[in-house]
Amino acid sequence: MQGNEKIIVGLDIGTTQITAVVGEMLEDEINVIGVGSHPSTGLRKGIVVNIESTVDSIKKAVEEAELMAGCDISSVYAGIAGNHIKGLNSHGLIAIKGREITNQDVERVIDAAKAIAIPADREILHVIPQEFIVDDMESIQNPVGMTAIRLEANIHIITGAVSSARNIVKCCNKAGLEVCDIALESLASGEAVLTDEEKELGCVVADMGGGTTDLALFKDNNLKFIYNLSLGGHNLTNDISIGLRTPILEAEKIKIEHGTCVPENVKSGATIEVPGVGGRPPKKLSKRILSEILEPRVEEIFSLLKKELLSNGLENSFPAGFVLTGGSVVLDGINDLAESVFNVPVRIGKPNKIGGLKEIVKNPAYATGVGLVLLGSSATCRANFQDTPSQGFTGILYRMKQWFKNII
């Protein structure tokens, strides 16, 4: 990679921002040595809608990262998201021929579990083993070597629209980059911001981006559940623009500088200056009005996420709490509002497990980019690249399936 096996680049292709994070592998940690970002105009709700605009933004983000890192970037680990990503659980069962379970038996039972009918325009992206059942013994993580007559597996299958993944690869290729692999963005965010204890006990990560909010539930060190909500920071900006009658760009600035979603936190008499539309003079408004615009929308997003968790019977599956990350969690009081909705401890997730320029990337907006670097640095991931086709989408899809068997 990039002429140096120790350099790994994560490319977060988001709805509002494209971010490249350059990591250098050392013996015991990964150092971030470069970061680049550029506004994204070619995506809508996580899906590429304009190839040329996306290619241009990718080039500029990568060039910025190259300047900071002092190296040439030729290959990346890209993230994939959007409401086309779906997860479902499946079950497989096989008989053991030689009484002792081998690696081949494990592969056979996983193949049996993923033998399900899926539409022609969708592809299985990831197969994540949840647990194995040896005869009647449940919750076994590695059954190899055990004596048994029957082996069962519960797996979580993640599918996506093939066209969406192809478009991400095409954009990267047109920008002069090889895609080493594609990873689920919510998985990458969880890798960057969660502790091992949270993954074991049960924790939800909500990655609030510009166009979407991606939810992922981790428990027993496994990814258990994913959900994509087509609401995000764009909706908040749009609400401010309409409510305060100001241009979208000015509304975005107001959200970042003054945004709060708890009206009780606003100081009495606090005001903000709101630019007018079409050359009209700016006006001063109470900051409380801004908070009263943002509060219901943020509460709606959290309520919809909670409804989805409840409808899947997962209300008691995250005792370690809720972690908010992504570029849209910069609002003052957003964790307090989340706590009131979910009734569990909530914290803002910032990337950890890295060194180097950690003061720059210790920001929720960089969670996915850092997570992609961490996933790319895993030995299982890297080992599986060498003997597989490196060209084209088929090779990428093959690798996604292979390394995901081992990475969780």
DSSP per residue, 295-341: HHHHHHHHHHHHHHHHHTT-TTS-TT-EEEESTTTTSBTHHHHHHHH
Q: Compute CA distances 302 → 12, 78, 193, whole Å.
A: 23, 27, 19
Q: What is the pLDDT of residue 265?
A: 82
Instruction: Please state the domain count of the chain.
Output: 3
Does the structure show a pLDDT above 60 at 296?
yes
Pick left, alpha or beta for residue 118 (phi over 0 → left; psi -120 to 50 → alpha; otherwise beta).
beta
CA distance 19 to 122: 27
| HSE-CB for 164 with a 13 A CA cutoff | 22
The answer on 208 and 166 residing in a single domain is: no
- pLDDT (0 to 100) of residue 120: 85
Q: Rounded to whole angstroms, how far apart are CA atoms 300 and 349?
A: 21
- 383: domain CATH number is 3.30.420.40
Q: Find the mean pLDDT for residues 148-167.
A: 91
**Minimum mean pLDDT range among 42-46, 189-193, 215-219, 395-399:** 395-399
291 and 232 housed in the same domain: yes
Residues 172, 109, single domain; the answer is no
For tokens 């895609």, the residue is 179
Residue 2 lies in a domain: no
- For residue 179, count CB atoms less than 10 angstroms from its CB and return exposed for 0-12, middle for 13-18, buried for 19 or more: buried
Model confidence at 307: pLDDT above 60: yes
Asked, for residue 302, whether it belongs to a domain, the answer is: yes
Residue 300 and residue 251 share a domain: yes
- The dihedral through the CA atoms of 350, 354, 359, 361 has a sign that is negative
Q: What are the residues facing 54 on neighbouring strands?
A: none
d(CA 253, CA 291): 15
The residue range of the domain holding 205 is: 196-350
Average pLDDT over the chain reads: 87
Q: What distances in angstroms separate CA 37 from CA 17, 56, 78, 168, 308, one per listed residue? A: 7, 12, 14, 17, 32
pLDDT for 4: 56
Locate 215 and state its tokens.
Answer: 């939810």
Does residue 1 sit within a domain?
A: no
* 402 touches 382 (CB < 8 A): no
Note whether 107 and 22 are same-domain residues.
no
- Do 130 and 92 share a structural domain? yes
Domain end marker among 334, 350, 366: 350
Q: Provide mean pLDDT across the span 10-35.
A: 91
Sign of the alpha-carbon dihedral angle for 221, 340, 17, 172: positive
- Predicted confidence (pLDDT) at residue 401 exceeds the cutoff of 60: no
In this structure, what CATH number is given to the domain that contains residue 118? Answer: 3.30.1490.110
* pLDDT tens-digit map of 84-107: 898 889 999 999 988 899 999 999
Mean pLDDT, residues 372-400 taken together = 55
CA dist., res. 62 & res. 36, Å (int): 6
- What's the CA gap between 238 and 230, in Å, rounded? 14
Same domain assignment for residues 286 and 396: no
- Phi/psi of residue 127, nearest 5 degrees: -120, 115
Neighbours of 342 (CB within 10 A): 20
Rounded to an integer, what distance in angstroms lies between the CA atom of residue 159 and that of residue 27? 35
**Which parts of 141-229 are beta strand (E)?**
150-161, 178-184, 203-208, 213-219, 222-229
Q: How far apart are CA 75 and CA 179, in angstroms?
A: 6
Residue at which a domain ends, from 302, 329, 350: 350
Residues 259 and 304 reside in one and the same domain: yes
Last residue of a domain, one of 308, 335, 350: 350
- Residue 372 placed within a domain: yes
User: Does a structural domain hold residue 397?
Assistant: yes
Let me know: does 309 contact 315? Beta carbons within 8 Å. Answer: yes
Q: Are residues 67 and 124 in the same domain?
A: no
State the pLDDT at residue 306.
95
> What does 212-250 look like in DSSP terms, one character per residue?
-EEEEEEETTEEEEEEEES--HHHHHHHHHHHHT--HHH
Q: What is the pLDDT of residue 22?
A: 94
Pairing of strands 322-325, 203-208: parallel
Task: Extract the tokens encoding 55.
Answer: 């290619």
- Residue 337, burial from CB neighbour count under 10 angstroms (0-12, 13-18, 19+): buried
The whole model's pTM is what? 0.87
Rounding to the nearest 10 degrees, give the CA dihedral for residues 342, 218, 28, 184.
-100
pLDDT reported for residue 136: 85
How do strand 222-229 and strand 43-44 relate by DSSP bridges? Answer: unpaired
343-382 pLDDT per residue, tens: 999 999 999 888 888 788 899 999 999 999 998 887 434 3
For the cut 60, the answer to whether the pLDDT of residue 230 exceeds it is: yes
Question: What is the largest distance, in Å, between two alpha-carbon atoms of the chain?
Answer: 82
Q: Quick one: 143 and 93 in the same domain?
A: yes
